[in-house]
């Protein structure tokens, strides 16, 4: 197991403090980041792990709706408070708030459901795309660049991500379009716990989704005046898939304006099943705006 993957799993292994008020309290570490800010996908995944621990095992998460309230400090731990909002015959609802220094940095609501039979249909997975094995990894693309963020993306992330079109790390090549596709999977084998794979998917869903906004406007990550921050994030799990097997993450941005960009994503497995849908709005600014 690689060090980045071990660190990822350690980050999701929350501590139950044993404290009980009207909420369940857990604590967890933050992963180091070159910019000093907590990665949004990390705190989303941790919040889900906290909520899962308060729900009956037969109830599975099917959606989250969260707001990023403040930047998190990657040098400090995080406290998670879970409010058991509702337990019905089939559904359970939980609100997790993530705190640092006594103030919330994320507030997110999760919905869980006992697995049931019902209607089944989905959109089709895009066809004719290169296979992930035929595409360069982040290590291939970034290993020659001597920069803290390049080193982090190349060697310290727990996921292998391979762009169907060229990545936008240093420049935006080709036509400025508001869509892209990325193959992703964990760097190594994950434990068999299905909830861990769902949390891993929440984690990875925050990596690249706003790049569809950036690509449309020709903004690479290396833009010196780029300012970005996730504002809110929603996700729906439709079917189960392992996060340590290749998944195709398609992303598109229907709109940007007012200093904000909006993006939608769909995650498919290699068999063409739609695994999850994602929506996010973020602050996206360049120049003096």
d(CA 166, CA 200): 24
**Residues with Cβ within 8 Å of residue 224, at least 6 apart in sequence:** none
Torsion of CA 226, 35, 210, 178, to 10 degrees: 40
Cα Rg for the chain, rounded, in angstroms? 18
**Which of 46, 111, 212, 280 does the annotation list as catalytic?**
280
Q: Is 166 a catalytic residue?
A: no
**C-alpha distances in Å from residue 281, one per residue of 35, 64, 120, 262, 272:** 21, 14, 28, 4, 26
**Which of 30, 31, 230, 277 does the annotation list as catalytic?**
230
101: alpha, beta or left? (left if phi > 0; alpha if psi -120 to 50): left
Helix (H, G, I), strand (E, B) or coil at 169: coil
**Residues with Cβ within 8 Å of residue 218, at least 6 apart in sequence:** 172, 176
**Which of 31, 46, 92, 206 does the annotation list as catalytic?**
206
Q: For residue 60, how far is the Cα from the chain centroid?
A: 18
∠ CA 256-228-197, nearest 5°, is 95
Q: Is 232 a catalytic residue?
A: no
Q: Is 280 a catalytic residue?
A: yes
Burial 73-96 (b: 16+ CB within 10 A, else e): bbeeebbbbbbeeeeeeeebbbbb
d(CA 1, CA 240): 23
What does the DSSP 8-state code read for residue 132? G
Helix (H, G, I), strand (E, B) or coil at 64: strand
Which residues are designated catalytic? 206, 230, 280
């Amino acid at each position: 197991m690689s060090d980045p993957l071990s660190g990822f799993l350690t980050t999701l292994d929350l501590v139950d403090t044993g404290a009980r008020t009207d909420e369940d309290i857990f604590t967890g570490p933050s992963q180091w980041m070159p910019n000093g800010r907590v990665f949004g996908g990390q705190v989303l995944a941790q919040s889900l792990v906290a909520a899962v621990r308060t729900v009956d095992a037969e109830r599975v998460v099917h959606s989250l709706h969260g707001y990023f309230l403040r930047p998190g400090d990657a040098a400090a731990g995080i406290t998670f408070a879970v409010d058991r909002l509702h337990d019905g015959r089939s559904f359970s609802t939980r609100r997790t708030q993530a705190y640092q220094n006594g103030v919330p940095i994320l507030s997110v609501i999760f919905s869980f459901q006992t697995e049931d039979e019902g209607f089944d249909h989905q959109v089709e997975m895009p066809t004719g795309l290169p296979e992930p094995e035929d595409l360069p990894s982040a290590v291939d693309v970034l290993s020659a660049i001597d920069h803290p963020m390049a080193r982090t993306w190349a060697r310290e992330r727990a996921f292998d991500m391979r762009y169907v079109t060229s990545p936008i790390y240093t420049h935006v090549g080709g036509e400025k379009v508001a869509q892209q596709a990325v193959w992703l999977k964990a760097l190594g084998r994950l434990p068999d716990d299905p909830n861990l794979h769902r949390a891993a998917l929440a984690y990875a869903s925050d990596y690249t989704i706003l790049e569809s906004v950036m690509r449309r406007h020709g903004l690479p990550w290396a833009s010196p005046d780029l300012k970005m921050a996730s504002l809110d994030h929603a996700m729906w799990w439709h079917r189960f898939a392992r996060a340590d097997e290749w998944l195709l993450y398609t992303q598109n941005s229907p709109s940007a304006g007012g200093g904000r960009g909006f993006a939608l994503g769909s995650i498919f497995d290699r068999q063409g099943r739609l695994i999850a849908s994602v929506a996010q709005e973020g602050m996206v600014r360049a120049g003096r705006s």
